Amino acid sequence: MKKLIILLDPGHGAETPGKRSPDGTLREYEFNRGVSRLLQKKLLSCGIDARLTVQDDTDMPLVQRTNQARDSKRQGYDVVLVSIHANAAGNGWSTANGIETYTNDQAEKLAQIIQRRLVADTGLRDRGVKRADLHITRESARYGIPGVLVELGFMTNKNECALLKTPAYREKCATAIVKAICEHYAVPFKVTADNPQPAAKPVDKVSIEINGKRLAVTGYLKDGVSWLPIRAVAEAVGGKVEWCAATRQVKVNGHDLTETIEGGVAYAPARELAAALGLQVEWRQATKTVELSS
């Protein structure tokens, strides 16, 4: 069996034009480098050879990045190229939000696992696994190399920009990606001093109202995201709930949802569940209540 190398590509450089938040408080390369270095440490602790395409703050040409993957493969290694980015929409602040993963044919299964892990662990909107004419995924495919490019949140969204600046969020993203790689390649995920499991946090209960009527069940608040019991909410408004064995996901009215299981109950983010049911959603902070309305 060939030795596996994960080649981590921190996108852009310190002086790449335009790659920063609208207020200039975050340069994309800072986030990309931070997550990539955490990834490298965590992968090494799991016994996986992980290398960075760029060691300093320069914006290495894209062809040099993919050539490193090509050269490693020619040396007889199994190579996977993972490029780390933060997203943007326009030049000013916008409402665009969430996480998305771009892939090529060789990395489709890995990309699906990465996207699922990231969405579940961060609670951000699932923008899906996509295909596009990107140099990283296109040129790695030319050499038969699995290539993925992850966009881990929007610098142009005020809430997500604030998250991208925090060590806790960068840690969360890196851990999710490492767990995905370990899952895909059947490598045990090892918890070490550099790879700690987050401490359990108290859970705030969330009340649920639909068209002014309060449900007997409750949801919970985690990292600023309200999670609601899928079946109870869907059935209260006549929604159709089904389990898709192929994707191992809950579907509501035919829509895949990001779900987590707590105490044997499946929960989904409030806004995602509301969208699948065609409902409007509002948050009442004073009473910690999610209000759904048709």
CA proximity to 8, closest of 31, 30, 38, 28: 38
Where is average pLDDT lowest: 131-140, 142-151, 212-221, 253-262?
253-262
pLDDT of residue 234: 93
What's the rounded Cα separation, in Å, for the pair 252 and 53? 41
What's the rounded Cα separation, in Å, for the pair 25 and 155? 10
Residue 2 has what DSSP assignment? P
Tokens of residue 194, six digits:
């550099």
Residue 237 has what DSSP assignment? T
pLDDT of residue 198: 53
108-127: per-residue pLDDT in tens? 999 999 999 999 999 999 99
Residue 20 has what DSSP assignment? B
38-68: per-residue pLDDT in tens? 999 999 999 999 999 998 888 899 999 999 9
pLDDT of residue 111: 96
* One-letter amino acid of 265: V
Exposed (0-12), middle (13-18) or buried (19+): which is 294, by Cβ within 10 Å? exposed
Q: Does residue 132 surpass a pLDDT of 70?
A: yes
Q: How many residues does the chain have?
A: 294
162-176: per-residue pLDDT in tens? 999 999 999 999 999
* One-letter amino acid of 29: Y
Q: Does residue 82 surpass a pLDDT of 60?
A: yes
236-289: per-residue pLDDT in tens? 999 998 876 554 567 889 887 777 777 667 888 899 899 999 999 999 988 999
Q: Does residue 139 surpass a pLDDT of 70?
A: yes
Strand order in the sheet with 241-244: 241-244, 249-252, 255-256
pLDDT of residue 197: 55
What ranges in 57-205 are assigned the alpha helix state H?
Answer: 62-74, 108-122, 135-142, 158-164, 167-184
Tokens of residue 252, six digits:
């509501």
Tokens of residue 139, six digits:
């040129």
What's the rounded Cα separation, in Å, for the pair 217 and 201? 21
Neighbour tally for 83: CB within 10 Å: 26
What ranges in the chain are assigned the alpha helix state H?
Answer: 28-45, 62-74, 108-122, 135-142, 158-164, 167-184, 230-236, 270-277
Q: pTM to 2 decimals?
A: 0.67
* One-letter amino acid of 119: V
